[in-house]
Chain A
């Protein structure tokens, strides 16, 4: 049982369960992945595997050290590479092993890690959910943050004060998502709920850490 897999977000749709319940689902093209390196306590101090998502990459886009590294695993090129810690019960892997969507079964729980959509510079209303002021009736306070602290004491703004700034493009983990269906022919995993990032962005799928 592999500790996880890498994938690419395809898009969302919905399906109906037999009892009429509608389930929002996200499709992820998961794998095939190749183990590019096996990290062991003896050599690296911890137990992990490095996975690469096997997608076509122009050879000129991979530098020489990278090509040499991938050659050991017998992979031509990988688009996206991430490391998974090996826990007990994950089994053993060696460089060159393949991991496909077949490793995952419906009803299993997974955590999905990705980069959220970038929103650019946003104000406090969108970024932190501030309420903002009234729109009209002579109000001159609309979407400004308001007071950011007291005056002569403390004579400074406390660190961590919520203000406008860059929003999105964050590393986001969504935990305990349920696998609804696995299409082993197309290597597509159907996950219940939404995943971080735009369609076409890469995500890391890990077996759920928390139980229940």
Chain B
């Protein structure tokens, strides 16, 4: 992103409607899903455990527990398939990648609220 022309493209195409989400926050991602010619939104709620890449290809990794199994979904945050993102709960964490949560279960996997 150092060339002004690249920055111009980024500023034109990036999504600006997302709230300021931080690592450790519990978020709700509303994803648009096409079924045949109908479109509906699906909600995916989980903890934001990582943010990867910069620029147009920026991704977020959202982890949730589903029937005892951990599930991680990666969303490209600039993609139009994302309808919107809500913050459900903030989380106070000390690192930028929360991969250690993969080894924790139940009560141990909780995060304190950010004040």
Residues of A within 8 A of B (CB): 10-11, 13-16, 18-20, 22, 25, 27, 29, 183, 186, 188, 190
A15 near B5: Cβ-Cβ < 8 Å? no
Q: List, sorted by A's number, 19 A–B pairs whose CB atoms are closer than 8 Å.
A: A10-B3, A10-B6, A11-B6, A13-B10, A13-B56, A14-B56, A15-B56, A16-B13, A16-B56, A16-B78, A16-B79, A19-B80, A22-B76, A25-B9, A27-B9, A183-B5, A183-B8, A186-B5, A188-B5
CA distance A25 to B5 in the complex (A): 13
A20 near B80: Cβ-Cβ < 8 Å? yes
CA distance A20 to B78 in the complex (A): 10
A-B pair count, CB < 8 Å, reads: 42
**Nearest-CB residue, chain B, relative to A190:** B9
Looking at chain B, what size class is its interface with the partner chain?
Answer: 10 to 19
B80 near A29: Cβ-Cβ < 8 Å? no
Instruction: Please give, as numbers and ranges, the residues of chain A lying within 8 Å of B4 by CB-CB distance.
Output: 186
Residues of B within 8 A of A (CB): 3-6, 8-10, 13, 32, 55-57, 76, 78-81
Instruction: Please give, as numbers and ranges, the residues of chain B lying within 8 Å of A188 by CB-CB distance.
Output: 5
Tell me, rounded to whole Å, the shortest Cβ–Cβ distance linking A57 to chain B: 21
Tell me, rounded to whole Å, the shortest Cβ–Cβ distance linking B2 to chain A: 8
Instruction: Please give, as numbers and ranges, the residues of chain B lying within 8 Å of A190 by CB-CB distance.
Output: 9
A29 near B5: Cβ-Cβ < 8 Å? yes
Instruction: Please give, as numbers and ranges, the residues of chain B lying within 8 Å of A20 by CB-CB distance.
Output: 32, 79-81
B6 partner, pick from A16, A18, A27, beta carbons under 8 A = A27
**Nearest-CB residue, chain A, relative to B76:** A22
Tell me, rounded to whole Å, the shortest Cβ–Cβ distance linking B81 to chain A: 5
B80 near A18: Cβ-Cβ < 8 Å? yes
CA distance A29 to B6 in the complex (A): 11
Tell me, rounded to whole Å, the shortest Cβ–Cβ distance linking A53 to chain B: 16
CA distance A29 to B4 in the complex (A): 11
In the complex, besides A18-B80, A186-B4, 10 extra interface pairs with C-beta distance below 8 angstroms are A13-B6, A13-B55, A16-B13, A16-B78, A16-B80, A20-B80, A20-B81, A25-B9, A188-B5, A190-B9
CA distance A14 to B6 in the complex (A): 10
**Nearest-CB residue, chain B, relative to A19:** B80
Tell me, rounded to whole Å, the shortest Cβ–Cβ distance linking A198 to chain B: 13
Tell me, rounded to whole Å, the shortest Cβ–Cβ distance linking A60 to chain B: 28
CA distance A29 to B5 in the complex (A): 9
**Nearest-CB residue, chain B, relative to A200:** B3
**Nearest-CB residue, chain B, relative to A15:** B13
**Nearest-CB residue, chain A, relative to B4:** A186
A22 near B79: Cβ-Cβ < 8 Å? yes
